[in-house]
Amino acid sequence: MSALREVLMRKDGRTRRRAFRGSAVRAGSASARAAPAGLLVAALLLAALPSPSYAGAQPTIPDQLYRYGYSLGFHPFTSPHDVRGQLTDNFWLFPVSGDCPAVIRPADECELLGGNPVRVEAIGYDSLQIATLPGHDLGEGLHIRFTFARSLGLHCLVVSAWQNRPTRCTEGTLCSAASRAGAWALWRVLSETLTMSAYAA
């Protein structure tokens, strides 16, 4: 009997030790599963914050020609107003500034590179808007707005263009496609310039 009791006690102890080890393994597995879950929650919280795509930065315009977004990099101590001010106070940063003054003001009229006349329609806290005048290669009555925004220290530039009425270029399939592609490349150059200059803003 005593031998049987001893065997049973050994079995009982072994079972307990196994159960304890199994619990530890299960706890470790739960911790391992909790880590990715925590990362997922953090990612969802970040995704819920305002994004640099600025869905509400500009109104929806029926005759919009294009709307492009560009990253300006990480500038946590620079405001969108600072970046806009740097552009309008140093307009030579504009890739086709042409004969326009270095400091532009609302209602200014000047010629961009290639003899394309424009008027400065508005300068806001974080935006600049220009319009094409008669004689512009793309036609008269095109409006282009440059809006700057920041989210979590990341700056973005959104460029939107729309028109009062179709022009000879925007009505032509090839000219319209070429102008949109050219605009995307041109404003990308502007965004890359501002990405660097924003450090001094």
Average pLDDT over residues 5-15: 45
Backbone angles phi, psi at 142, to 5 degrees: -90, 135
How do residues 60-103 score in pLDDT, each as one tens digit? Answer: 555 899 999 999 999 999 999 999 999 999 999 999 999 999 99
User: Tokens in use for 43?
Assistant: 């990612």
Per-residue pLDDT, 62: 59
The answer to whether the CB of 70 falls within 8 A of the CB of 57 is no
Q: Which residues, 6+ apart, have CB-to-CB distance to 103 below 8 Å?
A: 88, 89, 90, 91
The rounded Cα 61 to chain-centroid distance in angstroms is 20
Overall average pLDDT of the 2-6 stretch: 47
pLDDT (0 to 100) of residue 200: 82
Instruction: Report the predicted TM-score, pTM, of the whole model to 2 decimal places.
Output: 0.70
pLDDT tens per residue across span 130-188 = 999 999 999 999 999 999 999 998 999 999 999 988 888 888 889 999 999 999 999 99
